Structure 1
């Protein structure tokens, strides 16, 4: 009888792992260090060893395990093939087959990490009860995922849900990590917010509390905005306007019931959600104006909750 499953969230610094029951109940979670050297040659052996050690500790047999689901920071094709991941030293390939072989042929399915977070929120977080949702993650970059009728939209190239690279501004000399310009990520990620604030503060005539921070962080900018600092409020207003604009575009294609907003920046709360909703209503097609906006609930656990759904769904 299949009683257990493992969820894995592979990040650039740590690998988060979770042991679940097949009813999606989390039994235990833990972390190991991500070793990316030599094109990530240690990643899969380290993950397999950690899973094996947990099975020994809990006296779990192979026959009791439904499989392993893993989220990765890159594009994924056919739940198995991972395109080279920049922040994992170009690690990639037929990852599902390789990890399965290391785990004594347990079934393995792979998913993009933002997609995993969306699946997790749909199964156990603020997206529970919805089958049509969009998730946007606001951190160092801007990630995203689209779920329609309970199914992820990954696309032919694994690029479905790459909301951060929607063009919300005309091309210019501000080049995104993708090589293009005008991307949402350059305005609404933590990195983008700091960039916009620093550009604004280049004008010596502008007085702002943001000038007192060295280094300046996205949290500093948002905290200053909450305190009524006009320059910081201008930066946050631009951030949420671009998010509202991009999500209005997405709504014309995916028409979600709810947009789940996650990532570290989302912890700022209503100043983000209220701003997004305000501008979404300005840009959105009227039929989608009742789309809900909610904050993610699972935090750093969303990835393992979503990854395990790949083998439990």
Structure 2
């Protein structure tokens, strides 16, 4: 049976895998993201790596069903990517056209958060579900929406931008997108620092986390959660606000979409059950009560493999006509 080449493109590294049609990762490897020169080297470097791997495995392109790829940014209908600022792809970059010029295989591309959602649906926390929303908590906040086993991309490919829901109206939290009050400006790794700056203004308690923040003016998510577990007062205040806004955002997703599951992924989700339970506690207060027991909040299960598997699954869906 033909295999799939799957790519998960990130700001610092590119993960590539050979995936079976049953969702098994046969082999995977990674390389640095060559984002210099306005990102012009990124796609050629990936293509070169794939061709080299096929030669190493003594395989031909005919042994593969196609290529699936997840990428930051907005995916246009022609397979170009724009607005992927960490890749230096500000204007539309013709990713699909370049691939199809060099490798004679079907090629599909999807936003990276959408890829992660598809991966969790196929082989992870959403397995067996038909309706799923995924939030990826990292440097920013990504989102992916699946309804009745179909990915919701919207009229211009920008559906699922849950990180840019305006969640706070105090105008205290500046987002990198230019707006104020976005979920991403509060509930991401960068958002934790924004929260700390606001909460530190009136803080008068005793806290080693507060003292460390006043020196560095930054918050490390892993250290913050460790301090909150240890009952550090300032860390607990930040963590409570952080999870409150995430619980509120999850309630919006549940009220509008009523998915089977809301899956929390990304680096910050490594905090595990401690994070999930805190989000759930706030969610229970905000969600429309008749549906609160129908939509479960759960942690992602696939880790860094979610995007790879989702990109591969997209290719499989497209080739099967779904």
Question: Smaller-chain TM-score range?
Answer: over 0.9
- Equivalent residue number for residue 301 of structure 2: 297
Aligned residue for 1:179, secondary structure, equals: coil
Conservation of the 8 A alpha-carbon contact between 2:205 and 2:233: no
- Equivalent residue number for residue 284 of structure 2: 281
Conservation of the 8 A alpha-carbon contact between 2:173 and 2:182: no
Distance 1:286 1:204, change over 3 A: closer
Distance 1:204 1:275, change over 3 A: closer
- Equivalent residue number for residue 166 of structure 1: 165
Please give the alpha-carbon distance, in whole angstroms, between the structure 1 residues aligned to 2:77 and 2:130.
21
TM-score of the superposition, structure 2-length normalised? 0.92
Q: What is the total number of aligned residue pairs between the two structures?
A: 311
Aligned residue for 2:83, secondary structure, equals: strand
Please give the alpha-carbon distance, in whole angstroms, between the structure 2 residues aligned to 1:117 and 1:277.
21
1:210-249 mapped onto 2 (5 Å cutoff): 210-213=209-212, 214=216, 216-249=219-252
Give 5+ residue unaligned stretches, structure 2: 318-322
Conservation of the 8 A alpha-carbon contact between 2:65 and 2:105: yes
Q: CA deviation at 1:139?
A: 0.8
Q: CA deviation at 1:141?
A: 0.9
Please give the alpha-carbon distance, in whole angstroms, between the structure 2 residues aligned to 1:59 and 1:293.
44
Q: CA deviation at 1:201?
A: 2.8
Question: What are the superposed Cα offsets for residues 263-288 of structure 1, whole Å, 9 maximum, x if unpaired?
Answer: 11111112211121111111111232
Conservation of the 8 A alpha-carbon contact between 1:82 and 1:94: yes
1:40-59 mapped onto 2 (5 Å cutoff): 40-59=39-58
Conservation of the 8 A alpha-carbon contact between 2:120 and 2:300: yes
Conservation of the 8 A alpha-carbon contact between 2:119 and 2:313: yes
1:26-175 mapped onto 2 (5 Å cutoff): 26-78=25-77, 80-90=79-89, 92-103=92-103, 105-175=104-174
Aligned residue for 2:7, secondary structure, equals: strand
Q: CA deviation at 1:142?
A: 0.9
- Is 2:265 aligned against 1:262? yes
Give 5+ residue unaligned stretches, structure 1: none
Q: CA deviation at 1:79?
A: 7.1
- Equivalent residue number for residue 320 of structure 2: none
Conservation of the 8 A alpha-carbon contact between 1:79 and 1:110: no
Please give the alpha-carbon distance, in whole angstroms, between the structure 2 residues aligned to 1:163 and 1:297.
20
Aligned residue for 1:67, secondary structure, equals: strand
TM-score of the superposition, structure 1-length normalised? 0.94
Conservation of the 8 A alpha-carbon contact between 1:134 and 1:146: yes
Question: What are the superposed Cα offsets for residues 68-120 of structure 1, whole Å, 9 maximum, x if unpaired?
Answer: 001101111337231231111125433212212121x2111000000111111
Conservation of the 8 A alpha-carbon contact between 1:163 and 1:184: yes
Please give the alpha-carbon distance, in whole angstroms, between the structure 2 residues aligned to 1:65 and 1:79.
22
Please give the alpha-carbon distance, in whole angstroms, between the structure 2 residues aligned to 1:56 and 1:22.
21
Distance 1:204 1:161, change over 3 A: closer
RMSD: 1.6
Q: CA deviation at 1:194?
A: 2.4
Question: What are the superposed Cα offsets for residues 157-177 of structure 1, whole Å, 9 maximum, x if unpaired?
Answer: 322111111111115153211
Please give the alpha-carbon distance, in whole angstroms, between the structure 1 residues aligned to 2:139 and 2:306.
17
Please give the alpha-carbon distance, in whole angstroms, between the structure 2 residues aligned to 1:170 and 1:180.
11
